[in-house]
Chain A
Amino acid sequence: MVHALELVHSLLSPGAVLVDIHPTGQPSAIEISLGGVRHQLGEMQEVDDFIEYFQADEALVQVMQSGLFTRTRREEFIFLDHAASLEELRSYLLENWSDAVWPDEVTRRANEISPPGQSTEIPATLVEYVSISRLQQLSPHLDESPSR
Chain B
Amino acid sequence: MTSGSTTLERQVTLIELVDRVLNKGVVLSGDITLSVAEVDLVYVGLRLLLASVGTLERLQSELT
A and B from one complex: no
